[in-house]
């Protein structure tokens, strides 16, 4: 029996042996080097490189406990991720790393190393601008979401796919971290930034009308199997270089409301915007950066909506779904969910366990207070008014400007 016939938690040396014994991607006589480069909460990421040629691959490996806090997790999410990468690759090949091999025993996804791309969140924290990003990510979402919806996939095939993409443990992480804990703190796991503690408690724990709207969205996350979503589409899941993106890490893939992905993308650009507002010195660099983010947010919403409508216009298969006005109603609902989920993501990444660098990297206390308040004030508007506003990208910018004004006024110290 071989070393890799039974699952165990791999280290760098194991990944080198695995590459030699199982993969046969490199020349058998080559010397291989390996480094674990992951910084996520769940998996281990090994980059294996052939020393002489520089040729490299990524091995994404899952254990039976999470990387960050050793909680038990069913590594089936690794299989779901491999399936999802391949599904996305079949729809938008230029935006997804290619999977070379999947090993369900060792829970290893062997894939293309996109090493000339950079983690988008890290780049945004340096206030870098990426022209064309809005068009790219809006296209990715329109095709992957509409292309997996019931309007386009025959219902029997969709039901078979649903079995494959049943992601019990990671759905539950989302149910707790996004839809429950930020409002109830029932497990006491939130980590409020101390100078904002009272503000956050009042705005998020004590607002019953907010809880009611979150409960409605929670219900639809659990019961509406609308599209096959990426499930964790934040800027840390996007690798970027000028003119091109690669979308990674779909281990949270599941059937859920399509607006979940779009809302996540918008919220994570808002974190970058709030960071820029709070930390950058007045001047042209700040103006250009904020303007690029505002245009990106607007364009993602508008392009996603229009591209989704034209995709459905061309690809809807079911006669009933072709009823005049139906797919417009369908996309309209996704735009409402987008606004709501955008608010949920802003809140949970501000108060919850899984914070974002855009906020935590702010060392100045007043700047961080201001940044967090922009996020929470805008989040609440997005959630509460999701059925009324937010059909146009420009609506998001009006809310952001208002939230920034409120955040500035709400603090009795000097901001
Ligand atoms: C325990 S996992 C915490 C978060 O990290 C992932 O990126 C997801 O967003 C999840 O909610
Ligand atoms: Mg991830």
263-281 pLDDT, tens digit each = 999 999 999 999 999 999 9
Say if ligand 1 is within 6 A of residue 354 CB.
Answer: yes
Pick the ligand that lies closest to the CA of residue 68.
Answer: 1
Domain boundaries, the chain: 3-112, 118-409
- Whether the Cβ atoms of residue 135 and residue 142 lie closer than 8 Å to each other: no
C-alpha 266/C-alpha 264 separation (Å) is 5
Superfamily for the 3-112 domain = Phosphorylase Kinase; domain 1 (3.30.200.20)
CA atoms within 13 A on the CB side of 163: 5
Instruction: Compute the distance from residue 42 Cα to the ligand 1 centre, in Å.
Output: 8
Residue with tokens 């006024």: 409
- pLDDT of 154: 96
Task: Judge contact between 403 and 374, C-beta under 8 A.
Answer: yes
The owner of tokens 């509409």 is 146
At 69 the pLDDT is: 83
What residue's CA is closest to ligand 1, atom 4? 354
**Ligand nearest the Cα atom of residue 176:** 1
Task: Choose the residue to mutate in 42, 175, 229, 251 for probing ligand 1, maximizing ligand atoms within 8 Å of C-beta.
Answer: 42
Tokens 């250009």: give the residue.
288
Q: Which residues make up the environment of ion ligand 2, defined by Cβ < 5 Å?
A: 40, 232, 249
Q: Which ligand is nearest to the CA of 230?
A: 2
Ligand 1 contact, 251 CB (< 6 A) = no
Question: Among 41, 69, 77, 256, which residue has the most ligand 1 atoms within 8 Å of its CB, making it the best to mutate?
Answer: 41
Written as six digits, the tokens of 199 are 């503000």
Q: Which fold has domain 118-409?
A: Aminoglycoside 3'-phosphotransferase; Chain: A, domain 2 (3.90.1200)
Q: pLDDT in tens for each of the 415 residues of the chain?
A: 799 999 999 999 999 999 999 998 999 999 999 999 998 888 999 999 999 999 999 999 999 999 988 889 999 999 999 999 999 999 999 999 999 999 999 999 999 999 999 999 999 999 999 999 999 999 999 999 999 999 999 999 999 999 999 999 999 999 999 999 999 999 999 999 999 999 999 999 999 999 999 999 999 999 999 999 999 999 999 999 999 999 999 999 999 999 999 999 999 999 999 999 999 999 999 999 999 999 999 999 999 999 999 999 999 999 999 999 999 999 999 999 999 999 999 999 999 999 999 999 999 999 999 999 999 999 999 999 999 999 999 999 999 999 999 999 987 655 5
CB 36 within 8 A of CB 49: no
CB atoms < 10 A from the CB of 38, how many?
A: 15
Counting ligand 1 atoms within 8 A of each CB, the residue from 60, 177, 355 with the most, and so the one to mutate, is 177
d(CA 379, CA 59): 37
Q: How far is CA 52 from CA 15, 45, 59, in A?
A: 18, 22, 20
Tell me the CA–centroid distance for residue 41 and ligand 1, in Å: 6
Provide the sign of the torsion angle of the four alpha carbons 99, 101, 104, 109, taken in this order. negative
Give the pLDDT confidence score for residue 107 in this predicted structure. Answer: 97
Rounded to the nearest angstrom, the distance between the alpha carbon of 366 and the centre of ligand 2 is 30
Residue 401 · residue 297 · CB < 8 Å = no
| Ligand 1 close to Cβ of residue 406 (< 6 A) | no
As a whole number of Å, the end-to-end CA separation of the chain is 65
Q: According to the model, what pLDDT value does residue 415 have?
A: 57
Ligand 1 pocket, residue 41 CB under 6 Å? yes
Distance from C-alpha of 387 to C-alpha of 343, rounded to nearest angstrom:
13
For the CA of 69, the closest atom of ligand 1 is 1
Q: Report the distance separating Cα 367 and Cα 282, nearest Å.
A: 14
CA distance 253 to 240: 21
User: Which residues 6+ apart lie within 8 Å of 231 measured at CB?
Assistant: 167, 170, 174, 250, 251, 252, 253, 254, 256, 260, 261
Whether 88 lines ligand 1, by a CB cut-off of 6 Å, is no
Helices 393-410 and 259-279, packing angle to 10 deg: 40
Residue closest by Cα to atom 2 of ligand 1: 41
From the CB of 232, is ligand 1 less than 6 Å away?
yes
Which is the closest atom of ligand 1 to the Cα of 41? 2
């Amino acid at each position: 029996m071989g070393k890799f016939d039974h699952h165990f938690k791999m280290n760098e040396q194991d990944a080198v042996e695995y590459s030699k014994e199982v993969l046969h991607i490199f020349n058998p006589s080559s010397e291989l080097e390996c480094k674990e480069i992951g910084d996520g909460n769940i998996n281990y990421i090994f980059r294996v490189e052939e020393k002489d040629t520089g040729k490299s691959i990524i091995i994404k490996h899952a254990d039976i406990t999470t990387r960050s806090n050793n909680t038990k997790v069913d590594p089936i999410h690794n299989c779901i991720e491999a399936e999802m990468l391949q599904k996305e690759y079949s729809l938008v090949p230029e935006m997804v790393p290619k999977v070379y091999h999947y090993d369900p025993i060792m829970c290893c996804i062997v894939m293309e190393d996109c090493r000339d791309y950079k983690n988008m969140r890290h780049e945004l924290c340096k206030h870098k601008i990426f022209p064309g990003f809005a068009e790219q990510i809006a296209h990715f979402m329109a095709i992957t979401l509409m292309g997996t919806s019931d309007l386009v996939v025959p219902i029997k095939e969709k039901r078979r796919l649903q079995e494959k993409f049943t992601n019990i443990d990671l759905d539950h992480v989302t149910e707790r971290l996004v839809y429950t804990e930020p409002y109830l703190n029932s497990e006491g796991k939130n980590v409020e930034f101390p100078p904002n503690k009272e503000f956050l408690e009042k705005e998020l724990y004590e607002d019953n009308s907010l809880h009611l709207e979150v409960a409605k969205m929670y219900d639809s996350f659990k019961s509406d199997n609308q599209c096959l979503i990426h499930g964790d589409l934040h800027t840390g899941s996007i690798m970027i270089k000028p003119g091109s993106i690669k979308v990674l890490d779909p281990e949270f893939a599941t059937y859920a409301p399509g607006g979940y992905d779009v809302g996540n993308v918008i919220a994570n650009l808002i974190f970058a915007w709030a960071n820029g507002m709070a930390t950058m010195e007045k001047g042209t660099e700040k103006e250009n950066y904020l303007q690029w983010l505002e245009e990106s947010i607007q364009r993602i919403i508008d392009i996603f909506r229009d591209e989704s409508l034209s995709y459905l216009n061309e690809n809807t298969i079911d006669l009933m779904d072709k009823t005049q006005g139906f797919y417009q109603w369908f996309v309209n609902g996704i735009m409402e969910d987008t606004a709501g989920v955008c608010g949920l993501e802003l809140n949970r990444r501000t108060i919850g366990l899984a914070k974002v660098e855009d906020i935590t990297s702010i060392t100045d206390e007043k700047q961080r207070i201001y940044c967090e308040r922009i996020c929470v004030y805008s989040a609440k508007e997005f959630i509460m008014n999701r059925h009324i506003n937010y059909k146009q990208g420009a609506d998001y910018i009006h809310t952001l400007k208002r939230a920034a004004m409120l955040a500035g006024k709400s603090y009795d110290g000097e901001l």
